[in-house]
Structure 1
Amino acid sequence: MPGSGRAAGARAAGLLLGVALDAATGDPRRGHPVAAFGRTAAALERRMYADSRARGAVYAGILVTGAAMAGVAVERATRGRCAQVAVTAAATWAVLGGTSLGREGRAMAKALQDGDLEAARARLPHLCARNPAGLGPKELARATVESVAENTSDAVVAPLVWGAVAGVPGLLAYRAINTLDAMVGYRNERYERFGWASARSDDVANWVPARLTALLTVACAPFAGGTMRRSHAVMRRDGAAHPSPNAGRCEAAFAGALGVRLGGTNVYGGRAEHRPELGDGPPPEVDDIRRAVRLSTAVGLAAAAVCAAGALAVRRGAAGTGTRPG
């Protein structure tokens, strides 16, 4: 397959450049492409909403397919290796959230260290959908560490995995799936049925990335002052106890790496959920938030290296299946 090696190199380079751009700039304060997609999704929801799984599946299908097709069109219109690298880098930067995740984690740690509970509670919605009202310092610290762990997969590792496998279409389609899950993938009266397809699609899209995140967390545990052995033991023992098929693996690996205990009662939109405990240590404190952010950064960099190598392998493997002229 002529040019497949160059295309593989462009994809890998684009992923790495996108990671570097995210590290340097983070998310823009205004005009983020994901926010534009969210507005489009909200407008379509107003037109299509019904208390129906079928209607919700069509809604999700339209938006995810549209994002993927936009990626296909961009890749087909791109000529030249430098342009291919630039397009992949721009898409990677647009869908990654690692730098912003770390920024929010550090801001939460500072607010808690300063004893400013109101500021800390105001920041929590930037990290997760948990209701911050009435949460004390320990609950806010736990929520932050859990969110950093889960979002290391959702906002960093998973986009890179799908970018390595499917390029710009994979990057855009994954971010569409993950955004729809955050918008309508709730188990409440309005979205129990309409959001079912979005939530299940997110579970499927994150199945492999979550497990890769957990394994990379084990490998990077020493960067947070932990041990690979303990992180791996907690991941294996507690990872499947979480109600999410994916988040539990990441949170358990983080709990073991940090030597803390996660899980407990969480409140989402007035509905309380009790999550099994993950890990054996004490509840997280302020310093554990900073360690979690450091661990998340290490995992993201490791994932970038793994996925860039994977992009090369995917494209070269595809080239190897081609037939030569007789």
Structure 2
Amino acid sequence: MSSLMACIAGMALDAVFGDPVWLYHPVRIIGKWISMLEKWLREFCKNEERKERIAGGILWFGVVMVSIGIPWGLLYLAGKVSFWLRFALETFWCYQLLAGKCLKDESRKVYVQLVNHNLEGARHAVSMIVGRDTGNLSEAGVTKAAVETVAENTSDGVIAPLIFMLIGGAPLGFFYKAVNTMDSMVGYKNEKYLHFGRFAAKMDDVWNYIPSRISALLMIASAWIFRMDYKRAWAVWKRDRRKHASPNSAQTEAVCAGALQVQLAGDAYYFGKLYPKETIGDDVRPIEPKDILRAGNLMDGAALLTLLVFGLLKYCMILM
């Protein structure tokens, strides 16, 4: 019961205060551990393909074990001292592991610049939350990039960690964040990480497979709540959810495109190179800055539905 209460309290804190940037974030500690392990394991690899794959697997298990073990151990010790100490610690961690308000605030900065007709400012603001080149984006391109990142991060920044925490408390939330962070740090298909990061990339696909689809369905329900085009959201999700190199990334993006009646994705530049990509959604109407706020509303609705559905399931399991 304490973990469920901590999740609810942590979500409330995130909604009100956002990410406590004045504190050293635990995900940064996970990132440091990943970098340290990678450095040690690279010495073992000697640039041999087979050894790199083995080392990548060792990295994954090493990071996951530490990321779960330390929070579990600290919560156990805190519980020996006081129920309220354990509750406060777990609440704070649940608060830190969610990124809903931070994502909304950063995307809103893009919106503010766009409505003030400051395209250069909007390009800079969106460059803080996307990986693509933004220097030559049009107003529509900037808007689309912001909407896409809110839609995609609805799953891995909010819904997925919330699901894991509602199932297994903060330690399982740290597990998810470790999986996600490893993919973002070593899960690239370039020369350096093609073999070393393969296991991390595959595990990220595996552990996001179900949460990304749950997120999409809850976003469709959220579209109905906010009186958006939930029927088109459902249709576009069924049609376009596989239009991405990742099996998970287009799930929520497709729902968002359908709900907003706009077209997302398409070709994009990364580090000066054009990467052709399929479009997602239908070009029913031109995208507009206010769609950034609408995407944020979809995310909020889906997050509340996640808390309601999985919170009730958790409560029923406790009573059984």
TM-score (norm 2): 0.89
SS at match of 1:203: helix
Structure 2 residue runs without a partner (length 5+): none
Q: 2:3 aligns with which of 8, 11, 18?
A: 11
- Aligned counterpart, 2:309: 306
Other-structure match for 2:69: 69
Shift of 1:35: 2.1
Deviation at 1:251, TM superposition (A): 0.6
Residue 287 of structure 1 deviates from its aligned partner by: 1.2
Which residue type is aligned with residue 41 of structure 1? I
Q: Deviations over 1:45-77 (max 9, x none)?
A: 333335522222212221121101112212322
Matches within 5 A, 1:190-229: 190-229=192-231
Q: What do residues 146-205 of structure 1 show as CA deviations (whole Å, max 9, x unaligned)?
A: 110110100101111111222222011111111121222222222222221221111111
Alignment identity in percent? 33
Partners of 1:29 and 1:21 lie apart in 2 by 14
RMSD, aligned CA: 2.0
Q: 2:246 — aligned with what?
A: 244
Residue correspondences, number: 309
Structure 1 counterpart SS, 2:242 = helix
Partner of 1:275: helix, strand, or coil?
Answer: coil
267-276 or 66-75, larger mean C-alpha shift: 267-276
- Measure how far apart 1:269 and its partner are: 3.5
TM-score by length of 1: 0.88
CA distance in 1, matches of 2:84, 2:103: 29
Counterpart position of 2:13? 21
The answer to whether the 8 Å contact 2:266/2:280 transfers is: no
Q: 2:181 aligns with which of 179, 182, 199?
A: 179
| 1:45 paired residue among 13, 35, 38 | 38
Q: CA deviation at 1:290?
A: 1.3
The structure 2 residue matched to 1:97, chosen from 77, 96, 99, is 99
Give the conservation status (yes or no) of the 8 Å contact 1:112–1:137: yes
In structure 2, C-alpha distance between the alignment counterparts of 1:210 and 1:283, rounded to whole Å: 27
Q: Which has the higher contact order (CA 8 A, sep 6+)?
A: 1
Q: Which residue of 1 aligns with 2:191?
A: 189
Answer yes or no: is the 8 Å Cα contact 1:141–1:289 preserved in 2.
yes
Unaligned runs of 5+ in 1: 1-8, 321-326
Which residue of structure 1 aligns with residue 142 of structure 2? 140
Alignment-mate amino acid for residue 312 of structure 1: Y
Indicate the residue corresponding to 2:119 in structure 1: 117
Amino acid at match of 2:31: G
| Cα distance in 2 between the residues matched to 1:313 and 1:273 | 48
Does the alignment pair 1:262 with 2:264? yes
